[in-house]
Amino acid sequence: MRKGSLLGILLCACTGAFATGSFAQEKPAPEEDYVKAHYTKYEYRIPMRDGVHLFTSVYVPKDTSQQYPFMVDRTPYSVAPYGEDQYKKALGPSDEFEKSGYIFVYQDVRGRYLSEGKFVEMHPHIDDKKSPQDVDDSSDMYDTMEFLLKHVANNNGKAGIWGISYPGFYTSASIIDSHPSIKAASPQAPMTDLFMGDDAYHGGAFMLDANFGFYTFFKPFDEPSLPKHEVPFDMGTPNVYDFYLHAGPTSNLDKLYLKGSNPLYNDQMYHTTYDDYWKARDLSQHMKNVKCAVLVVGGWFDAEDLSGPYKTFYAINKFNPGTTTTLVEGPWVHGGWARGSGDHLGDAQFNAKTGEFFRRSIQFPFFEYYLKGKGSPMPKAYVFETGTNAWRTYDTWPPAPAKAKTLYLHAGGKLSFDPPSEKEGSDEYVSDPAHPVPFVGYTTDTVPQRYMVDDQRFASTRTDVLTYQTDPLTEDVTIAGPISPKLKVATTGTDSDFVVKLIDVYPADYPDPEEDNHAGKRVLDAPPLHMGGYQQLLRGEPMRGKFRNSWEKPEAFTPGKMAEVDFTMPDLNHTFRKGHRIMVQVQSSWFPLTDRNPQTFTDIPNAKPEDFKKATEMVFHNHDAASGVEVLVLPQP
């Protein structure tokens, strides 16, 4: 208790404050609301060249003794709270920014919440703007900066922009033909090409659970409006596997539940080939005239936008060779670098607070350097190597010393860097759409972020999953870069998916977590976690077989005829430690992460019940028809 002054005591006595004969305890001083104490909020409706006004919140430091750069976040998810006397609790990408001092700008993109105009999903960029009516996110950002520079006091004429996921897309789109004031940008997990490995499709397979779940609440607005309370969609079961299996063909999800209420979902579901709808939304083809430094950020285990960072990084380098560009990848889930310590995911331990390190030692110094002239520039690639659990820097990505080697499938479930020598050899399994392989080994009502490193022992026991593994490694094997399955297959159907998973198998004597003291039969609570033999997923992707030769023009399989199914999975930097094994699994369903392939060549969203048929899948592994997974291997020091 803090003692008051004599005057205070006397005043209390006069008012009967301690009539009981003891001092009344004072309430502790409330913790300072840092944002309110140090920033003044303004709201603007900024005019665009076509007459549309975009709602924008601006937080300006109260200290006017110096000038500040802008930090801009453009979002479709609301800049709430609304009202100049209503403040956000925190500003900027992390705590370091609001303490350092920036002018923070938050903008509802056109057609969302209090901004006017029509919302268009991943608004296609217009390369040749012929009139003021030709608008996109590049022109909207340009017009926004023109306004801010003239109307917000104490700015230093420089601006940075950042955003994660959909705001990451807006970050990328905003720096095409970038305004001269934009000096630094960080697209983080940016949606880049929805059909080619981001949110909507992977390998031509529809990302079922994530998309339906998203579009049950992300819907278009008829007119500008404040955020409304939304009642979450109720599946009626805690088991997504059962829900989607009993729903039948994916078109039923609209017919039975959405009932035409969300055209955004139908756009995703029914554009099942790489048509003009998707091509117009491949932002990587338009990343030109980027004049600011760019920090592209992604997570090795991002379940939503795994491919976007790489495509954005490669595109900016290709079209803007003089632009400073850095790729950052850590062991994170979607947006995981922005919050939390990042020291583990599921059962996988990284033994380092990677999220804190990124925020403090990579992201903040990047913007400080380009917007305030403090510090030093970044390397070309700043990545966390899992397995060894260490940060690495490279002059190029993928690293120049990394060389392509193929992990070949062999008879008896063997896996080796040596090609098969047998004249004949194959394995087969029956894929049944009525009993698809689940993507996790437990009941879930969503897509758990941890699934991307989950134990695959549940899958390797199934008869419809082929499993191949190396002998225990005699030395470390480090891979860095994209992963490319190259399969020789045949099917009795006319279409089939082929899901390939790359897995790190822990040694049998790998220690269990220290806090796990279950022993023998004395298990009364949750089952114990045994890490010996743990099969940690590192990378897994589906490939819809009908797209093996063309994303635009799918082709049926000829039943029983061998075909090549080659594809590329997103990059990874991982070391398989000495004593571990490398495993590859092959299967034909991954449900309900992806939609079911009926295994007949048909329009999958509208497939009829009779179109879903069992198929026998064959994977070849002989001298003339070798199957494997190509990886880029770094030499050991």
How much is the pLDDT for 518? 60
Strands 628-634 and 201-202: unpaired
Residue 8 half-sphere exposure toward CB, CA atoms < 13 A: 8
- Chain-centroid distance of CA 539 in Å reads 13
Provide the 3-class DSSP secondary structure of residue 434. Answer: coil
pLDDT at 519: 63
| Neighbouring C-alpha atoms within 13 Å toward the C-beta of 30 | 4
- CB contact at 8 A, 540 and 500: yes
**pLDDT tens digit string along 380-428?**
999 999 999 999 999 999 999 999 999 999 999 999 999 999 999 999 9
Neighbours of 101 (CB within 10 A): 15
Structure confidence at residue 250 (pLDDT): 94
Strand-pair category, 39-47 with 53-61? antiparallel
Instruction: Please give the order of strands across the beta sheet that includes 497-505.
Output: 465-469, 581-587, 497-505, 535-544
Q: Minimal CA–CA distance to 174: which of 32, 65, 71?
A: 71
Secondary structure, 3-state, 350-390: CCCCHHHHHHHHHHHHHHHHHHHCCCCCCCCEEEEEECCCE
Q: What is the pLDDT of residue 222?
A: 83
The half-sphere exposure of 172 on its side-chain side, counting CA atoms within 13 A, is 35
Give pLDDT, residue 55: 98
Interatomic CA distance for residues 587 and 596, integer angstroms: 12
Burial of residue 484, with CB atoms counted within 10 A of its CB: 0-12 exposed, 13-18 middle, 19 or more buried: middle
CA-based nearest residue to 507, from 416, 583, 573, 413: 583
Q: Which residues pair with 60 in a beta bridge?
A: 40
The series of mean pLDDT values per 10 residues for the chain, 637 residues long, is 35 36 47 90 98 98 97 98 97 96 98 97 96 98 98 98 98 97 98 96 98 94 88 94 96 95 95 97 97 98 97 98 97 96 97 98 98 96 98 98 98 98 96 98 97 98 98 98 98 98 98 73 84 98 98 98 98 98 98 98 96 98 98 95
CB count in 10 Å sphere of residue 53 = 16
Q: What pTM did the predictor assign?
A: 0.93
Can you tell me the distance from the alpha carbon of 105 to that of 42, in angstroms, rounded to the nearest whole number? 10
- Between 308-319 and 166-174, two packed helices, what is the crossing angle to 10 degrees? 0
pLDDT of residue 11: 35
Task: Specify the pLDDT at position 587.
Answer: 98
Q: Are 589 and 436 in contact (CB under 8 A)?
A: yes
- d(CA 191, CA 198) in angstroms, rounded, equals 6
Give the long-range contacts of residues 165-168, CB within 8 A, separation 24 or more: 165/189, 165/190, 165/191, 165/304, 165/305, 165/334, 165/335, 166/75, 166/76, 166/77, 166/191, 167/73, 167/74, 167/75, 167/76, 167/77, 168/305, 168/308
DSSP codes, 529-548? ---TT-EEEEEEEEEEGGGS
Strands 155-164 and 182-188: parallel
Q: Which whole-number Å values give the CA distances from 375 to 96, 366, 370, 383, 426, in the listed order? A: 15, 8, 9, 20, 57
Q: Which two tokens stand for residue 309?
A: 């960072």
Give the separation between CA 543 and CA 528, rounded to whole angstroms: 35
